[in-house]
Amino acid sequence: MKTNLLKRFSKYLSYATTSDENSTTYPSTNSQLVFGDFLVKELKEIGMQDVQKDEFGYVTATLPSNCNKKDIPTIGFIAHIDTAPDMPGIAAPRIIENYDGKDIVLDKESSTILTLEDFPELENYKGETLLTTDGKHLLGADDKAGIAEIICAMEYLIQHPEIKHGTLKVAFTPDEEIGKGVVHFDVAKFGCDFAYTMDGGAPGELEYENFNAASAIINVQGRNIHPGYAKNKMINAQLIAMEFNALLPEAEKPQYTEGYEGFFLLVKMEGTVENASLTYIIRDHDKEKFEYKKETIGKIASFLNSKYGENRVTYTVKDQYYNMREKIEPVMHIISLAEKAMLEAGVKPLIMPIRGGTDGANLSFKGLPCPNIFAGGHNFHGKYEYVSLQAMEKATNVILNIARLAAE
């Protein structure tokens, strides 16, 4: 199993599939369509049925039931094709066999090092095979590890018909990293009773709570006057933008939050004396606190307008996704099923809230309950990303166990 996982995963990483939040196409980059074509070919080769890639780049396939038992749920397994636009995402993984439990130099030139001091969870992988970045690119375990695990699990089931299972569906989606992963996803056509995204982190992670999420764009209109004659005339948009940010609650920034605590994150700022803009993401697990955070944006804008003049500060707040908990709680048996599958794979379930979001959140609100299961990686979206091959094997076994247990 590990050899097959490594072969597939390494091949997938050779495809650059970075999504682009500024694109006007869907999917946002053509490279995702190219990788989708490869996945279609691979799914057909292993013996999956009804393999398709639609106009939006969604790749889907079916593994028919191999038993006569009735009332077995149809289960989906989902992973996303794209990698985050935070860094370039194509480079061969560094393979460290029998990891010695010490610091790992990723790139000598830039002194990029995976240290135990900064990443103490490395100790959990001593003796295992680690796949790391080269210190300059993303690894892409988020979420090509999930794709490899799903395809390896389906291939194993096809090769071992003695393992009885109901109908299984797989889907690989584009543009998850820019919040558009399932915008065009046809839940009815997919035809599952429930599904799991294989998009979590460390072994054991099982998540059915995620942030409520919104974006906020703040625009400030200034007045640019020659500085030699600016007294009582100049209005510096950049300074007002800085004031706006300073009025947000200091303790509600990501670097000070954990668990269920939400935050405001300034992700982009641009400006001149004449115009300035701030872009934020807003997150909170609690719906009331989430709404209050959005209201806070408006209150600060109103305050600054009263201070500097009407419409000096304008803003747009847009909801992105919601906490899937309310959609999962009525069907908690799907969490129990995943827990049992993990235990039988020798993995201790770690049920925790996602401090982020997945395609599963939007799918749950589209009518497909879809909690998230670990894919095995750490430090996603940056040059310190890594994944254990043994963790990927455990995730694959969890998929196999879910399929088998649901048919018993």
Six-digit token string for 99: 């990891």
Cβ pair 236, 222 in contact under 8 A: yes
| The one catalytic residue among 142, 143, 176, 385 | 176
d(CA 361, CA 105): 36
Strand order in the sheet with 194-200: 49-53, 59-63, 168-173, 75-80, 194-200, 372-374, 205-207, 350-351
Which are the contacts of 394, defined by CB distance < 8 A and separation ≥ 6?
A: 203, 345, 346, 347, 374, 376
| The one catalytic residue among 42, 82, 155, 385 | 82
Cβ pair 31, 17 in contact under 8 A: yes
Which of helix, strand or coil describes residue 58?
A: coil
- In the chain, the N- to C-terminal Cα span, in Å, equals 24
Cα dihedral sign, 394-397-403-405:
negative
Alpha-helical regions (H) of 248-388: 287-308, 325-328, 333-344, 359-365
d(CA 347, CA 393): 11
Backbone phi and psi for residue 351, each to the nearest 5 degrees, phi listed first: -85, 120
Which are the contacts of 37, defined by CB distance < 8 A and separation ≥ 6?
A: 53
86 assigned to active site: no
393 assigned to active site: no
Element counts in the chain: helices (H) and strands (E)? 10, 18
Instruction: Count Cβ atoms within 10 A of the Cβ of residue 35 and give its class: 0-12 exposed, 13-18 middle, 19 or more buried.
Output: buried
Rounded (to 5) percent helix, strand, coil in the chain: 35, 25, 40
Residues with catalytic annotation?
A: 82, 176
